[in-house]
Amino acid sequence: MGQILSTLITCRKERYLAGYYRVESRLSRECEEPELTRLAFQLSNFAFELVSREHSSATGRNADYVVDIQVDTARVESPISGRAHLVNVRMCTCDCNFMATCPLPCRHVMYMQSIYNYETVVLPLRFFETRWIDQSPENNIDTVEVLLGGLKQGCVLQGPKRKLYPALT
């Protein structure tokens, strides 16, 4: 039984890799922005979509932030929403939810890069976690052990039953 599972997993890996590396199996990522075009072929599709949306929010015509810069940090506030975020200028990090959940460059960091004329608006690849980089050795399922998933069971407590639409009186 164990050898059958091992064979099935190996066949599945080979099928996945054949489809992944097949010519024209991945979307073309040509964009108008040269920085994003260079980055597009290095990141996964999902990560690239996230970064390009953040980039357009940081450099597009609707990008409008009030920046208060100190020594190592900058306070970036949106006048529309009133939300403020702290950007660490040296580390290129931000305290926003996007950067906390996705560890990718956020619009606040990119906005700081753009208004202070940094060499690039999009951060260099060394600021990206390896899980987002296509050619990272960690993402090569030929060399890394792929663990079997498990099922986590939980218990959901039911509350008192309520009517979805209360009767009109």
Sheet arrangement for strand 84-88: 66-69, 73-77, 84-88, 93-94
Percent of residues, the chain, with pLDDT higher than 70: 76
Report if residue 126 sits inside a domain: yes
What long-range pairs does 90-94 form, CB within 8 A, spacing at least 24?
A: 92/123, 92/127
Tell me, what's the pLDDT at 41? 82
Q: What is the pLDDT of residues 27-86, one digit of tens each?
A: 554 556 788 888 888 888 899 999 999 999 898 888 889 999 888 899 999 988 899 999
Is residue 110 over pLDDT 50? yes
CB atoms within 10 A of CB 12: 12
Tell me, what's the pLDDT at 124? 83
For residues 141 and 16, the answer to whether their CB atoms sit within 8 Å is: yes
Report if residue 105 sits inside a domain: yes
Looking at residues 94-119, what average pLDDT do you find?
Answer: 89
Report if residue 121 sits inside a domain: yes
Report if residue 144 sits inside a domain: no
Report if residue 61 sits inside a domain: yes
**What is the residue range of 126's domain?**
32-132
Report if residue 10 sits inside a domain: no
For residues 142 and 16, the answer to whether their CB atoms sit within 8 Å is: no
Confidence class of residue 169 from pLDDT cuts 50, 70 and 90? very low
Rounded Cα distance, 41 and 16, in Å: 19
Report if residue 22 sits inside a domain: no
Tell me, what's the pLDDT at 87? 93
| Tally of domains within the chain | 1
Count Cβ neighbours within 10 Å for each residue of 132-167 and write b for 16 or more, e otherwise.
bbeebeeeeeeeeeeeeeeeeeeeeeeeeeeeeeee
Tell me, what's the pLDDT at 152? 57
